């Protein structure tokens, strides 16, 4: 059963409560972004259950992100219901966005994203979608670290990076996630319609921050996964580069969704240091203050003041962004209804 405690701690903001599907059986689209996964794509597709409790139709969508091997051929042989190809490699983030848009066009009520490398067990799809079907969540993410007994074996640097990013996102969003990097997730139609993503490299962190700020109910479900994939990861070719790129995505997302905290926090820090400098040299300095210190304090005060003003302007623009996103959501919904 999903954790009620986690739902309460996802954010301090009041959440909109999702609706249960009741007697209506929703359409499930299983989204598989793929890049040069000819070795595993076929077995992943064939392992997806054709019948899942609470579901009506179960459709498989493959988004080929410019593969140069036989990924598309293997997907066709495994009888994927729909295959979309970018032709060239555009990045996992864009492949995910393409998949969400295409799945909505396929009349999906629930969308499950699963990797093509076979790390996740397709049998767990039923476990992932259950909270959405029951009306307890808008988004359900697989957690590799929620239960100690199910933790996968992985390099220490990878485990450290996962926990670091999870704590960072929990801190800024006032949440209680145990795994924010896992791509095995289920999204309700409502959540998918409200998603607005920009990152090309990956989408896992940006998706959570975006939907938390839109008051979506997000649940974590413990699943057993393999710690290591076969061959080289298509996304994490270097843990150092991955960490830098993922961190930039988080920083940019926080800049867009938490402008007062982002700019105001830096401004308050610089202005506070400047004020402390003024008070210290005014009250305790027995000799004339050197010129370079005076200039330094002045710069800190000026930069702090400017950043605080920028925070106020950015907060005002954030209100306009929210209005525009609501308009975009209604346009998407109206387009699907047609």
> What are the residues whose beta carbons fall under 8 Å from the beta carbon of 197, sequence distance 6 or more?
93, 96, 97, 203, 206, 207, 210
Return d(Cα 162, Cα 82) in angstroms, integer: 32
> What are the residues whose beta carbons fall under 8 Å from the beta carbon of 37, sequence distance 6 or more?
67, 71, 116, 117, 234
Query: Do the beta carbons of residue 157 and residue 179 sit within 8 Å?
Result: no
Return d(Cα 82, Cα 59) in angstroms, integer: 8
Map residue 139 onto helix, strand or coil: strand
SS3 sequence, 98-123?
Answer: HHHHHHHHCCCCEEEECCCCCCCCHH
Classify residue 338 by its DSSP letter: -
Provide the CB-side half-sphere exposure for 120 (13 A, CA). Answer: 26
Structure-block tokens of residue 201? 């490299």
Instruction: Supply the pLDDT for residue 231.
Output: 47
How big is the chain by its Cα radius of gyration, in Å? 23
List, in sequence order, every residue forming a beta bridge with 33; answer none if it has no partner: 63
Query: Do the beta carbons of residue 103 and residue 186 sit within 8 Å?
Result: no
Provide the CB-side half-sphere exposure for 320 (13 A, CA). Answer: 5
Report which of 84, 103, 90, 88 is spatially closest to residue 185, judged by C-alpha positions.
Answer: 103
Query: Do the beta carbons of residue 203 and residue 139 sit within 8 Å?
Result: no
Query: Do the beta carbons of residue 127 and residue 199 sit within 8 Å?
Result: no
Four-residue CA torsion sign, 189, 191, 196, 202: negative
Provide the CB-side half-sphere exposure for 181 (13 A, CA). Answer: 19
Map residue 260 onto helix, strand or coil: helix
Classify residue 238 by its DSSP letter: -
Instruction: Supply the pLDDT for residue 157.
Output: 79
Instruction: Supply the pLDDT for residue 3.
Output: 46
Structure-block tokens of residue 281? 């040299």
Map residue 84 onto helix, strand or coil: strand
Number of other CB atoms surrounding residue 238 within 10 Å: 10
CA 87 to mean position of chain CA atoms: 25
Residues of the chain with pLDDT under 50: 1-14, 231
Report which of 225, 136, 115, 114 is spatially closest to residue 188, judged by C-alpha positions.
Answer: 136
Return d(Cα 103, Cα 105) in angstroms, integer: 5
Structure-block tokens of residue 10? 């996802």
Classify residue 19 by its DSSP letter: P
pTM above 0.85, yes or no: no
Return d(Cα 111, Cα 211) in angstroms, integer: 15
């Amino acid at each position: 059963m999903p954790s009620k405690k986690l739902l309460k701690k996802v954010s301090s903001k009041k959440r909109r409560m999702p609706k249960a599907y009741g007697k209506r059986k929703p359409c499930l689209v299983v989204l598989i972004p793929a890049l040069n996964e000819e070795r595993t794509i076929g077995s992943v597709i064939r392992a997806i259950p054709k019948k899942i409790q609470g579901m009506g139709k179960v459709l498989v969508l493959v988004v080929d992100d410019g593969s140069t091997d036989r990924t598309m051929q293997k997907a066709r042989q495994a009888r994927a219901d729909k295959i979309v190809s970018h032709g060239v490699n555009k990045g996992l983030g864009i492949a995910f966005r393409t998949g969400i848009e295409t799945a909505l066009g396929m009349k999906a009520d629930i969308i499950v994203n699963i990797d093509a490398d076979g790390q996740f067990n397709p049998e767990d799809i039923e476990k992932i979608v259950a909270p959405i079907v029951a009306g307890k969540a808008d988004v359900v993410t697989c957690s590799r670290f929620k239960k100690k007994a199910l933790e996968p074996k992985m390099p220490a640097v990878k485990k450290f990076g996962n926990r670091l990013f999870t704590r960072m996102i929990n801190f800024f969003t006032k949440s209680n996630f145990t795994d924010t990097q896992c791509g095995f997730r289920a999204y309700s139609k409502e959540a998918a319609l409200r998603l607005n993503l920009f990152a090309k490299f990956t989408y896992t962190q940006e998706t959570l921050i975006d939907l938390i700020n839109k008051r979506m109910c997000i649940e974590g479900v413990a699943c057993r996964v393999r710690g290591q994939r076969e061959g080289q990861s298509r996304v994490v070719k270097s843990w150092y580069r991955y960490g830098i790129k993922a961190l930039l995505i988080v920083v940019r997302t926080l800049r867009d969704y938490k402008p007062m905290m982002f700019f105001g926090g830096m401004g308050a820090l610089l202005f506070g240091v400047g004020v402390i400098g003024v008070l210290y040299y005014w009250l305790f300095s027995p000799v004339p203050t050197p010129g370079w210190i005076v200039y330094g304090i002045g710069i800190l005060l000026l930069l702090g003041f400017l950043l605080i003003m920028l925070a106020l302007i950015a907060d005002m623009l954030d209100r306009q962004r929210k209005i525009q996103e609501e308009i975009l959501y209604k346009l998407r919904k109206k387009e699907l209804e047609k």
